[in-house]
Chain A
Amino acid sequence: MQPSDDILVKRVKDGDMEAFELLVRRYENKVYTMAYRFLGSHADASDLAQETFLRLYRSLPGFRGESSFITWLYSVTANACRDEIRRKQRNPVVSWENEVIEGGGQTVSLTLGRNRIPTPEEAAEQNELNESVQRCLNELPEEQRLILVMREIQGLSYEEIAGALKCSLGTVKSRLSRARRTFRDTYGSKRELFGQYSRLAK
């Protein structure tokens, strides 16, 4: 049986690096996915995920379990995301390597038909759709992007989001509502501009 998060945290505090590695392995997909969805680039996401775990490691000695480990992990990730955006705003660079296509990182396939392998056409179509969804996400204001990623992609509850973002449930409700609306508008206008993805047309 896998040791629980709490036990691993305790072991890391006692200096057990193996326990830390287990934690990293356990959550690397979640953190990486969140970073990628937030930043829209694999290279940046990799750096950010690494930075997140290092921050986690540094602040672990002070973690006293007021919230669950996972909520705390998301709060550290969210802060790392915000800081990264701010850093980028300070040093804007045109990134030529910026790739939006899935597949730069390995995709753990969870989508399309539940029990069957998609045809290449379906896979290509899905990729294209994912790519355009990601592009819309990239355009959202940072806080809205963050909350949308946490809710829809990571599937956190309102309470967990409030805990991770250090805000009230009311704020989660209204911000999420607004974020969904903005996303919908962005997505809608993109769809018209490029005239694709008719399956979403009314």
Chain B
Amino acid sequence: MQCLEVRELLSPYLDGVISFAEQEEISAHLAVCPNCRAEFEILCEMVSVLKNLPELSPSAGFSTRVLNKATALPPERRQRRSPGIPGNFTRGIWVRVAALAAAFVFTFGIAILMQGTPWPKEVGKEILQTRVDRGQGEQGETGSGQSRDPAVCLDHDPDGNSGPGRLSAPGPAAFTGGGTIQGGSPAGDPSGVLAPAAQPEGADLPAGQNTMAAQMNIPAANHGSSFADTSRGLDVPRVVAVKEGVISKKIAYGNVPPSSRESEQKIVRNATLHLDVEQDVRPEIEFLARNSGVQLAGYSGGGALLMKVPADQYENVVNSMHDLGRLTISKENEGDISSEYTAYETRLKELAEEEQILLEAMEKSGSPQASDVEEQLIDIRQDMEYQKKQLSLAEYSTIELCFE
């Protein structure tokens, strides 16, 4: 077993939820590989740090308060909710809304990134059409033939333009089963408006299917080309993965070619400031935060505030706070976060690769496992979003502001 495989399995290995053979193999590997052993030790340490967190109890009188509220509920409300999973249906809606928003932002971002690349000519005509089908619930059964449709399909530039391929979502591409990922509809709507489209007749999808707009929904022009595109599925995931890589780079570096910045160190500053104030200056600070792109968070017992400051605004923000009261800097240090930055990038690439593998697996199987793979895919995409956020956050300096 390679180190990489071993590391993927360390978490289930720790919990003893892998096969005996794998268990043996990993034990043998750990005995001889100091790097993986170190990795495993860190994992154990992390788990024990979490396990050691104390159990908490609510303030006194909690059960009485709950009881009073429960008694006060009108009788019909006590009965109305269905068992088991309250909130699950509404959850579905919000996942879809979030996905829709993500698709929109993503498309918008791409459109912006395209400025200055060789193929912006059609950007203005881009149509984003996303279908949000309201499912009635989950249907566990998987239909036989449909899951061969890929969720996302690459439209290989029919104009012969050799620039980066455009991603487009094919027609009724749908994986059956609970919570499917679904591309947009081929019916191009030139108004460019996000419009919920009706399920195409004859698409033969089980009723009550839960569909979800794919996050990768980046339709380009020529969208209406044909359903036939869906057959080109196999080379797609790779392109998607590469695309993700490119996108993450662009997000990370703006539209500047990476080569010119790659070697640059990422420096952020971390400071603890004490502000001696006579009155409540929180409105001023909120105002300052809004103007300088600072993110605020409540922190440590109310007397302090955590500020995430864009690197270039740091001086400006600190100077502005001098006007609010007597400011003392009790701790200030600079950190080179280049390595973490690279780590996030690497992780992002790994995730893109995992995604690719899953997409391929999904395509090959036709299959009762499909919804499982989908869940993992959704997980991975969520994780990618997170890593991207970290990547952008990495460029922020942190100020811990304590009020005196």
The chain A residues found within 8 Å of chain B, CB to CB, are 17, 20-21, 24-25, 28-30, 32-33, 36-37, 41, 45-46, 49-50, 53-55, 57-59, 61-64, 66, 72, 75-76, 79-80, 82-83, 86, 94-102, 105-111, 129-131, 133-134, 137, 140-141, 143-144, 148, 152-153, 155, 158, 166-168, 170-171, 173-178, 180-185, 187, 189, 192-194, 200, 202
Q: Is the CB of A98 within 8 A of B299?
A: yes
Q: Which residues of A contact B17 (CB under 8 A)?
A: 158, 173
B375 close to A (CB within 8 Å) = yes
Q: Is the CB of B298 within 8 A of A133?
A: no
Q: Is the CB of B62 within 8 A of A49?
A: yes
Contact of A153 among B42, B53, B88, B371 (CB under 8 A): B53
Q: Is the CB of B91 within 8 A of A79?
A: yes
Q: Which residues of A contact B86 (CB under 8 A)?
A: 55, 58-59, 76, 79
- 15 more CB-based (< 8 A) A-B contacts, given A20-B67, A98-B298, A106-B57: A29-B55, A33-B56, A54-B66, A54-B69, A96-B282, A98-B302, A133-B49, A153-B50, A153-B53, A180-B11, A182-B386, A187-B49, A192-B340, A193-B398, A194-B270
Nearest-Cβ distance from residue B52 to partner chain A, whole angstroms: 5
Q: Is the CB of A17 within 8 A of B67?
A: yes
B45 close to A (CB within 8 Å) = yes
The chain B residues found within 8 Å of chain A, CB to CB, are 8, 10-12, 15, 17, 38, 42-43, 45-47, 49-59, 62-67, 69-71, 73, 77-88, 90-91, 94, 270, 282, 286, 296-302, 305, 335, 337, 340, 343, 347, 371-372, 375-376, 379-380, 382-383, 385-386, 398
A59–B80 CA distance with the chains assembled, in angstroms? 7
Q: Is the CB of A175 within 8 A of B15?
A: no
Q: Is the CB of B375 within 8 A of A168?
A: yes
Nearest-Cβ distance from residue B48 to partner chain A, whole angstroms: 9
Q: Is the CB of B56 within 8 A of A107?
A: yes
Q: Which residues of B contact A21 (CB under 8 A)?
A: 63-64, 67
Nearest-Cβ distance from residue A38 to partner chain B, whole angstroms: 12
Q: Which B residue sits closest to A100, measured CB to CB? A: B300
Nearest-Cβ distance from residue B299 to partner chain A, whole angstroms: 7
Q: Is the CB of B386 within 8 A of A61?
A: no
A133–B299 CA distance with the chains assembled, in angstroms? 14
Q: Is the CB of A50 within 8 A of B66?
A: yes
Q: Which residues of B contact A133 (CB under 8 A)?
A: 49-50, 53
Q: Is the CB of A58 within 8 A of B81?
A: yes
A171–B378 CA distance with the chains assembled, in angstroms? 10
Q: A108-B54, A153-B53, A174-B379 are in contact. Are A131 and B300 (CB under 8 A)?
A: yes
A111–B80 CA distance with the chains assembled, in angstroms? 42
Q: Which residues of A contact B46 (CB under 8 A)?
A: 180, 183-184, 187
Contact of B43 among A140, A143, A155, A180 (CB under 8 A): A180
Q: Which residues of A contact B296 (CB under 8 A)?
A: 94
Q: Is the CB of A98 within 8 A of B69?
A: no
Q: Which residues of A contact B66 (CB under 8 A)?
A: 24, 50, 53-54
- 21 CB contacts below 8 A, A to B, read A21-B67, A24-B63, A33-B57, A46-B58, A50-B69, A53-B66, A58-B73, A58-B80, A58-B81, A59-B82, A61-B78, A79-B87, A97-B302, A101-B301, A141-B386, A143-B379, A167-B375, A184-B43, A187-B46, A192-B335, A192-B340
Interface centre among B53, B94, B286, B297 (most CB of A within 10 A): B53
Q: Which B residue sits closest to A195, measured CB to CB? A: B333
Query: What 6 pairs between A and B have smallest CB-CB spacing?
Result: A98-B298, A62-B83, A177-B11, A152-B50, A79-B87, A95-B298
Q: Which residues of A contact B376 (CB under 8 A)?
A: 170-171, 174-175
Contact of A99 among B53, B70, B83, B300 (CB under 8 A): B300
Q: A32-B62, A98-B297 are in contact. Are A152 and B82 (CB under 8 A)?
A: no
Q: Is the CB of A171 within 8 A of B58?
A: no
Q: Which residues of B contact A193 (CB under 8 A)?
A: 270, 335, 337, 398
Q: Which residues of B contact A180 (CB under 8 A)?
A: 11, 43, 46-47
Q: Which residues of B contact A79 (CB under 8 A)?
A: 85-88, 91
Q: Which residues of A contact B10 (CB under 8 A)?
A: 177
A79–B90 CA distance with the chains assembled, in angstroms? 10
Nearest-Cβ distance from residue A118 to partner chain B, whole angstroms: 12
Q: Which residues of B contact A29 (CB under 8 A)?
A: 55-58
A98–B54 CA distance with the chains assembled, in angstroms? 19
Nearest-Cβ distance from residue B339 to partner chain A, whole angstroms: 9
A13–B30 CA distance with the chains assembled, in angstroms? 53
Nearest-Cβ distance from residue B238 to partner chain A, whole angstroms: 21
Q: Which B residue sits closest to A170, measured CB to CB? A: B372
A152–B80 CA distance with the chains assembled, in angstroms? 34
Contact of A28 among B62, B82, B282 (CB under 8 A): B62
Q: Which B residue sits closest to A96, measured CB to CB? A: B298
Q: Which residues of B contact A108 (CB under 8 A)?
A: 54-57
